[in-house]
Amino acid sequence: MLDQILESNEIYDRFYEGERPLFALKNQRLNKVRFYPGESALKHSSDVTATQCEFMGKYPFWHSENIELDKCLFTVYARAAIWYTQNLTMRDSVVEAPKMFRRVSNLTIENSRFTSAGETLWLCDNIRLTNVEMKSADYVFMNCENIEIDNFTLQGNYSFQDAKNVTIRNSYLNSKDAFWGTENVTVYDSVIEGEYLGWHSKNLKLVNCTIRGEQPLCYAKDLVMINCKMVDTDLCFEYATLEAEIVSDIISVKNPKAGHIKAKAIGEIIIDEHCQNPGGCVIETQED
């Protein structure tokens, strides 16, 4: 049966189940194929295009190469579906399962929704997202590198922890503890909501962004903010080094370490006995 399929180069309107039904499949098109419960359906596959396929088993694409997924569905049963894979494109698809993408290189995702995206995208590199939505997405992008994102909607805490070399545009991130320990992250024209944003980050740059949440951007090193708004933010910038241009009021600023802060107004500036570098940060407001 498998020999007959390989000769046609297309598998159409079939179903498979169990363990490794199409192990090491190569140079094939899958069209309206359903994978019922089982494991590792397409492990070690390469040069496979799947269109309008439905995945209901675990680990379908592990150790695969050159995979294209178009209008596919990964159900809640397809946990940890794509790990250790290189060169994968996903378009117009829906993912209901957690732990998607682990140690994946050269990944493109377009026009897709992830409805339960916890622990998705760990230890991946060279990632591009366009028009993507993720919900219930705690700990996404942990330890990822080289990421380009445009029009991303995120609901999930602890995002981008320890990620490096990230550019985000036109996005909405509702995420407590976002960007902890990151390096070389730039965010343009976006809204970021959630407490404790960007602690212990290095070279975080926010341009034309709106920030909401308690105690943002503490312990940040070489933080840059250009034309940003800060809404309902208090105890900002503790022990941070920064250059910040804020075009709104700030509730309070506490013990910044060094640099320059310019804001429309600051309700309270707290410089106490725990300040590490008194006078090291110049703070200006329009009221001065």
Domains of the chain: 77-285 (2.160.20)
CA distances from 121 to 3, 59, 206, 287 (A): 35, 15, 23, 45
10 Å CB burial of residue 272 (0-12, 13-18, 19+) is exposed
Q: What is the pLDDT of residues 228-262, one digit of tens each?
A: 999 999 999 999 999 999 999 999 999 999 999 99
Q: What is the pLDDT of residues 186-225, one digit of tens each?
A: 999 999 999 999 999 999 999 999 999 999 999 999 999 9
The arithmetic mean of pLDDT across residues 169-185, rounded, is: 98
pLDDT tops 60 at residue 7: no
- The alpha carbons of the chain give a radius of gyration, in whole angstroms, of 23
Contact yes or no for 188/208 (Cβ under 8 A): yes
pLDDT band at 286 (very low <50, low <70, confident <90, very high): confident
Collapse the DSSP code of 194 into the 3-class scheme (helix H, G, I; strand E, B; otherwise coil) and give the result. coil
Q: What is the pLDDT of residues 15-29, one digit of tens each?
A: 999 999 999 999 999
Q: Residue 195, CB half-sphere, CA atoms under 13 Å: how many?
A: 3
**How far is residue 65's CA from residue 280's CA, in Å, rounded to a whole number?**
52
pLDDT tops 80 at residue 5: no
Q: What is the pLDDT of residues 46-93, one digit of tens each?
A: 999 999 999 999 999 999 999 999 999 999 999 999 999 999 999 999
* pLDDT confidence of residue 3: 46
Q: Which of 167, 115, 112, 169 is nearest to 141 (CA)?
A: 167
